[in-house]
Protein backbone atom coordinates (compact mmCIF):
# COMPACT_ATOMS: atom_id res chain seq x y z
CA UNK A 1 0.00 0.00 0.00
CA UNK A 2 1.34 3.43 -0.99
CA UNK A 3 2.10 5.94 1.78
CA UNK A 4 0.84 8.73 -0.48
CA UNK A 5 -2.78 9.90 -0.60
CA UNK A 6 -4.51 8.31 -3.61
CA UNK A 7 -4.63 11.49 -5.72
CA UNK A 8 -0.93 12.18 -5.19
CA UNK A 9 0.02 8.57 -5.91
CA UNK A 10 -1.95 8.76 -9.15
CA UNK A 11 -0.16 11.97 -10.17
CA UNK A 12 3.23 10.38 -9.46
CA UNK A 13 2.25 7.35 -11.50
CA UNK A 14 1.09 9.48 -14.46
CA UNK A 15 4.18 11.70 -14.41
CA UNK A 16 6.35 8.58 -14.23
CA UNK A 17 5.03 7.53 -17.63
CA UNK A 18 6.71 10.52 -19.30
CA UNK A 19 9.92 9.81 -21.25
CA UNK A 20 13.06 10.27 -19.19
CA UNK A 21 11.14 10.58 -15.92
CA UNK A 22 11.88 8.00 -13.25
CA UNK A 23 10.07 7.34 -10.00
CA UNK A 24 12.09 9.83 -7.89
CA UNK A 25 11.77 12.60 -10.49
CA UNK A 26 8.04 11.95 -10.74
CA UNK A 27 7.78 12.27 -6.96
CA UNK A 28 9.66 15.60 -6.98
CA UNK A 29 7.47 16.95 -9.79
CA UNK A 30 4.28 15.89 -8.03
CA UNK A 31 5.35 17.47 -4.73
CA UNK A 32 6.32 20.64 -6.60
CA UNK A 33 2.88 20.80 -8.26
CA UNK A 34 1.22 20.16 -4.93
CA UNK A 35 3.06 23.07 -3.33
CA UNK A 36 2.73 25.43 -6.32
CA UNK A 37 -0.04 28.04 -6.42
CA UNK A 38 -3.29 26.54 -7.61
CA UNK A 39 -3.39 28.72 -10.76
CA UNK A 40 0.08 27.57 -11.80
CA UNK A 41 -0.73 23.88 -11.39
CA UNK A 42 -4.07 24.18 -13.16
CA UNK A 43 -2.43 26.13 -16.02
CA UNK A 44 -0.30 23.05 -16.66
CA UNK A 45 -3.37 20.83 -16.63
CA UNK A 46 -5.11 23.23 -19.04
CA UNK A 47 -2.10 23.26 -21.36
CA UNK A 48 -2.10 19.46 -21.51
CA UNK A 49 -5.83 19.40 -22.20
CA UNK A 50 -5.53 22.07 -24.91
CA UNK A 51 -2.76 20.17 -26.67
CA UNK A 52 -4.74 16.96 -26.68
CA UNK A 53 -7.97 18.63 -27.79
CA UNK A 54 -6.73 21.12 -30.38
CA UNK A 55 -3.64 19.71 -32.07
CA UNK A 56 -4.30 18.01 -35.38
CA UNK A 57 -2.53 17.20 -38.63
CA UNK A 58 -2.20 20.01 -41.20
CA UNK A 59 -4.44 19.27 -44.17
CA UNK A 60 -1.67 20.17 -46.62
CA UNK A 61 1.76 19.27 -45.21
CA UNK A 62 0.77 16.81 -42.43
CA UNK A 63 2.70 18.58 -39.68
CA UNK A 64 1.06 19.22 -36.32
CA UNK A 65 -1.05 22.36 -36.04
CA UNK A 66 -4.00 23.77 -34.13
CA UNK A 67 -5.75 24.95 -37.30
CA UNK A 68 -6.92 23.42 -40.55
CA UNK A 69 -3.61 24.44 -42.12
CA UNK A 70 -0.35 25.21 -40.32
CA UNK A 71 1.26 28.66 -40.17
CA UNK A 72 3.87 27.79 -42.79
CA UNK A 73 1.31 26.54 -45.31
CA UNK A 74 -0.81 29.66 -44.74
CA UNK A 75 2.12 32.09 -45.05
CA UNK A 76 1.76 33.95 -48.41
CA UNK A 77 5.45 34.92 -48.33
CA UNK A 78 6.58 31.32 -48.67
CA UNK A 79 8.02 29.96 -51.92
CA UNK A 80 5.30 27.54 -52.91
CA UNK A 81 7.39 25.97 -55.69
CA UNK A 82 9.88 24.59 -53.20
CA UNK A 83 9.06 21.58 -51.04
CA UNK A 84 11.15 20.10 -48.23
CA UNK A 85 10.27 16.51 -47.25
CA UNK A 86 11.03 15.57 -43.63
CA UNK A 87 10.29 12.55 -41.45
CA UNK A 88 8.69 14.18 -38.42
CA UNK A 89 7.27 17.56 -37.31
CA UNK A 90 10.35 17.92 -35.03
CA UNK A 91 12.57 17.92 -38.14
CA UNK A 92 10.45 20.68 -39.69
CA UNK A 93 10.60 22.73 -36.49
CA UNK A 94 14.40 22.30 -36.35
CA UNK A 95 14.70 23.66 -39.90
CA UNK A 96 12.31 26.51 -39.12
CA UNK A 97 14.46 27.55 -36.14
CA UNK A 98 17.39 28.02 -38.51
CA UNK A 99 15.28 30.28 -40.68
CA UNK A 100 17.23 29.46 -43.85
CA UNK A 101 14.43 27.74 -45.74
CA UNK A 102 11.57 29.74 -47.25
CA UNK A 103 9.63 27.02 -49.03
CA UNK A 104 6.89 24.65 -47.86
CA UNK A 105 7.22 21.31 -46.11
CA UNK A 106 5.83 17.83 -46.31
CA UNK A 107 5.94 15.65 -43.20
CA UNK A 108 6.00 11.92 -43.95
CA UNK A 109 5.11 10.89 -40.41
CA UNK A 110 8.04 8.48 -40.11
CA UNK A 111 10.48 6.60 -42.28
CA UNK A 112 10.34 3.38 -44.21
CA UNK A 113 11.81 0.64 -42.02
CA UNK A 114 10.74 -2.71 -43.49
CA UNK A 115 12.61 -4.73 -40.86
CA UNK A 116 10.52 -2.96 -38.20
CA UNK A 117 7.34 -3.54 -40.19
CA UNK A 118 7.00 0.08 -41.36
CA UNK A 119 6.19 0.28 -45.06
CA UNK A 120 5.47 3.19 -47.42
CA UNK A 121 1.71 2.77 -46.95
CA UNK A 122 2.06 3.88 -43.32
CA UNK A 123 3.49 7.26 -44.34
CA UNK A 124 1.85 10.27 -46.03
CA UNK A 125 3.51 9.40 -49.34
CA UNK A 126 0.27 9.29 -51.29
CA UNK A 127 -0.51 12.84 -50.23
CA UNK A 128 3.01 13.95 -51.23
CA UNK A 129 2.62 12.38 -54.67
CA UNK A 130 -0.66 14.24 -55.11
CA UNK A 131 1.00 17.53 -54.18
CA UNK A 132 3.82 17.05 -56.68
CA UNK A 133 1.64 15.53 -59.40
CA UNK A 134 -0.09 18.90 -59.72
CA UNK A 135 3.09 20.15 -61.41
CA UNK A 136 3.50 23.38 -59.45
CA UNK A 137 6.53 22.16 -57.45
CA UNK A 138 9.86 23.23 -58.95
CA UNK A 139 12.12 21.37 -56.50
CA UNK A 140 11.64 18.72 -53.84
CA UNK A 141 14.37 18.57 -51.18
CA UNK A 142 14.56 15.17 -49.51
CA UNK A 143 15.55 15.96 -45.94
CA UNK A 144 15.04 12.57 -44.31
CA UNK A 145 17.66 11.66 -41.72
CA UNK A 146 21.03 10.38 -42.97
CA UNK A 147 20.43 6.95 -41.42
CA UNK A 148 19.97 3.78 -43.41
CA UNK A 149 16.18 3.99 -43.03
CA UNK A 150 16.23 7.70 -43.89
CA UNK A 151 18.24 7.00 -47.03
CA UNK A 152 15.91 4.15 -47.97
CA UNK A 153 12.94 6.48 -47.53
CA UNK A 154 14.58 9.15 -49.69
CA UNK A 155 15.23 6.57 -52.42
CA UNK A 156 11.63 5.40 -52.27
CA UNK A 157 10.27 8.96 -52.44
CA UNK A 158 12.67 9.71 -55.31
CA UNK A 159 11.29 6.74 -57.24
CA UNK A 160 7.69 7.73 -56.51
CA UNK A 161 8.20 11.36 -57.62
CA UNK A 162 10.49 10.74 -60.60
CA UNK A 163 7.69 10.73 -63.22
CA UNK A 164 6.50 14.25 -62.39
CA UNK A 165 9.45 16.30 -63.63
CA UNK A 166 10.24 18.23 -60.43
CA UNK A 167 13.92 18.61 -59.56
CA UNK A 168 14.74 16.17 -56.77
CA UNK A 169 17.60 16.97 -54.36
CA UNK A 170 18.97 15.43 -51.16
CA UNK A 171 20.28 17.46 -48.21
CA UNK A 172 24.08 17.56 -47.97
CA UNK A 173 25.96 15.44 -45.45
CA UNK A 174 29.49 15.54 -44.16
CA UNK A 175 31.68 17.33 -41.64
CA UNK A 176 29.83 19.70 -39.30
CA UNK A 177 31.05 23.29 -39.31
CA UNK A 178 33.36 23.99 -36.38
CA UNK A 179 34.60 20.40 -36.05
CA UNK A 180 37.90 18.97 -37.24
CA UNK A 181 38.77 16.25 -39.74
CA UNK A 182 40.94 14.47 -37.16
CA UNK A 183 37.97 13.53 -35.02
CA UNK A 184 35.45 12.84 -37.76
CA UNK A 185 34.24 9.25 -38.15
CA UNK A 186 34.94 7.13 -41.20
CA UNK A 187 31.33 7.47 -42.39
CA UNK A 188 31.35 11.27 -42.08
CA UNK A 189 34.65 11.56 -43.91
CA UNK A 190 33.40 9.28 -46.70
CA UNK A 191 30.23 11.36 -47.02
CA UNK A 192 32.19 14.60 -47.03
CA UNK A 193 34.55 13.44 -49.78
CA UNK A 194 31.77 12.03 -51.92
CA UNK A 195 29.63 15.14 -51.46
CA UNK A 196 32.43 17.62 -52.27
CA UNK A 197 31.54 20.55 -54.49
CA UNK A 198 33.38 22.77 -56.95
CA UNK A 199 34.61 26.15 -55.71
Residue ranges binding other proteins (CB under 8 A): 19-20, 114-115, 117, 147-149, 151-152, 155-156, 158-159, 185-188, 190-191, 194
Is 2 or 90 the residue whose CB approaches other proteins more closely?
90
Closest approach, Cβ 175 to other proteins, in A, equals 12
Query: Looking at the chain, which runs of residues are DSSP E strands?
Result: 56-57, 64-65, 79-86, 103-107, 139-142, 167-170
Q: Measured between alpha carbons, how far is 87 from 194 in angstroms, rounded to an integer?
A: 24
Is 127 or 158 the residue whose CB approaches other proteins more closely?
158
Q: What per-residue string of b and e applies to 153-188 under the rule 16 or more CB within 10 Å gives b?
A: bbebbeeebeeeebebebbebbbeeeeeeeebeeeb
Closest approach, Cβ 17 to other proteins, in A, equals 14
Closest CA to 59 of 72, 68, 51: 68
Is 7 or 18 the residue whose CB approaches other proteins more closely?
18
Q: Measured between alpha carbons, how far is 64 from 90 in angstroms, rounded to an integer?
A: 9
Give Cα 85 distance to the centre of its chain. 10
Is 41 or 152 the residue whose CB approaches other proteins more closely?
152
Closest approach, Cβ 137 to other proteins, in A, equals 21
Closest approach, Cβ 158 to other proteins, in A, equals 8
Give the alpha-carbon dihedral of 152, 157, 159, 161, to 10 degrees: -170
Is 64 or 152 the residue whose CB approaches other proteins more closely?
152
Closest approach, Cβ 129 to other proteins, in A, equals 16
Amino acid sequence: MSAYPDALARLIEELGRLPGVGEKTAERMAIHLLRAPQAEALALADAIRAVKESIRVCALCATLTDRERCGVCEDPARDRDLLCVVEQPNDMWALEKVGAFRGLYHVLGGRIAPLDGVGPEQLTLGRLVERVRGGAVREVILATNPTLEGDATALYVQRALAPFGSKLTRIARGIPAGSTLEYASRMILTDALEGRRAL
